Amino acid sequence: MTTLSASASVDVAVDPPTAFRAFTEEIDRWWVPGPINAWNFARAVTRRIEPGVGGRVLEVYDDDGDGLELGRITVWEPGSRLAYRSSVDDTEVDIRFEPVDGGTRVSVEHFVRPGGNPEHGGLFWPNVIRWLEPWCRDHDPSRPARRLARLAVALYYQDPAAAARWLAATFDLRSWDRIPAEGESAGWIELHAGEVSVLLFAADGKWSPEPVSHNLWVYVDDLDAHLEHARAAGATIVTPIQEHGYRAYTADDLEGHRWTFVQTSPAVRG
């Protein structure tokens, strides 16, 4: 059965007017950068929400504000409610801000609009809304935007969610997202040591005598040129360039260590 709507809520430790301002005015800082979190990762500089009904939700590509219109605001009620109609698929998003003890409950519903094609809509907001909670914890609107280092590490586990909980509790790795609780799972789990991403993937029960247990991710300026150079220099190309919202290829080095090279983004430092 095709899913036509998805919803979620988080409690944040600020009052509703502050939560609304954080959501709308600071989205460029609380939005988590990463290869799966942009329509065009190679160009995305930031996100922006223009205030008021008719304002645009934008993925910004340069300092002049050029970018992709993701949606148009249909409801603008500061401290209470925000809604927009997607410009890139057949969905709408409705976000509500409700006072609760200790702060605000921010609830989101992301749904395929009536008459829309459910195949033309990604219901991602129930995952994204979780990023707001750690940003509002000890809220400081002057904090800089989140950025990524050039190098990331990918680790493979039989139970990535359990590994994430253990790494956070034991090695004090942090998350810009919510770490899955016991009994939960997630297709993408990303922890951080400063600006370095630690990506946790499922081994899918396919351990071999020589399993792939780790993988280095490196962001490069010109992925096509990098691939041709690596191939000419003798690297074993495991997968050629593929696109998943980001562009990447995978190669093994001279002793079989696996590397993933990703077309960089303005969200990556250096």
End-to-end CA distance of the chain: 45
pLDDT for position 49: 97
Over residues 196-248, the pLDDT tens digits come to 888 888 887 655 666 666 777 888 889 999 999 999 888 899 999 999 888 99
- Distance separating alpha carbons of residues 35 and 258, to the nearest angstrom: 18
- Distance separating alpha carbons of residues 175 and 210, to the nearest angstrom: 30
Average pLDDT of the chain is: 88
**Cβ proximity of 129 and 146 under 8 Å:** no
pLDDT for position 212: 66
Q: Which residues of the chain have pLDDT under 70?
A: 1-2, 205-213, 254-255, 269-270
3-state secondary structure of 49: strand
Superfamily per CATH, domain 151-263: 2,3-Dihydroxybiphenyl 1,2-Dioxygenase, domain 1 (3.10.180.10)
CATH topology for 7-136 is Alpha-D-Glucose-1,6-Bisphosphate; Chain A, domain 4 (3.30.530)
Residue 229, phi then psi, degrees to nearest 5: -65, -45
pLDDT for position 175: 87
Q: Where do the domains of the chain lie?
A: 7-136, 151-263
- Distance separating alpha carbons of residues 247 and 84, to the nearest angstrom: 29
Q: Which helix (DSSP H) or strand (DSSP E) does residue 75 occupy?
A: strand 67-77
